[in-house]
Structure 1
C-alpha cells in the first residue's frame, strides 16, 4: 500500500522527531556536569591568593622576594586560564554552528507543515 504525500510527510516528521529525541537522550547521557571548569577557575584563584600571601610573608621575613618564582607562577596561571577560555569559546562557537546547521532544511526533504 502506497502512502499519500501527507502521510509520507507525517511519517518523515515523526521519524525525525524520534531521531532528535534519541540524539538528545544520548547527548544527555554522555554529558559531563560542566562544573569542572568552574572548579578549576576557583582553584586557580585560590592558588594565586595563597601564593601571594605566602610571598608577602617571605618578603617580610627575609627582605627579598624570589622574582623568578613569582613570575613563573603567575605566567603558568595566566596560560592555564587563557587555555580554558579558548576551550570554552571554541565549544560555544561549534555549538552555535551545529545548531544553525540543524535548522537548515535540505532541498530533498519535504516541507515541514503544521497539519497533523
Structure 2
C-alpha cells in the first residue's frame, strides 16, 4: 500500500512539473506569435497580452499554493507520528 502511495505521489509530482513546463512553453509561443502579429500589423493587443499573462500567473501561483499545502500537511503528519512514537 505504501508503495502505491509513493507511485501516486511521483505521478502527481511529474504532473505539476509538466504543467509548469507547459505554461512556460505556451508563454514563449504566445510571445513569439504576438511579436509576429505586431510586426505585421503594427498594433499591440495589450488587453489580450494582459489577460494571457494574468491567467498563466494565477495558474502557476495556484499550483504552487497546492504544493505548499501538501508539503505542510506531510510535515505535520511526520511530526505527529514522531510525537506518538516518543510518547508525547
Q: TM-score, normalised by structure 1?
A: 0.66
CA distance, structure 2, for counterparts of residue 79 and residue 35 of structure 1: 20
Who is 2:72 aligned against? 93
Unaligned runs of 5+ in 2: none
Residue in 2 that maps onto 1:77:
56
How far apart, in 2, do the equivalents of 1:26 and 1:48 lie? 35
Q: Which has the larger radius of gyration?
A: 1
Structure 1 runs not aligned, ≥5 long: 1-22, 110-116
Aligned length: 86
RMSD: 2.0
The TM-score normalised by the length of structure 2 is: 0.86
- Structure whose residues are more often helix by fraction: 2
Distance 1:38 1:106 in 2: 34
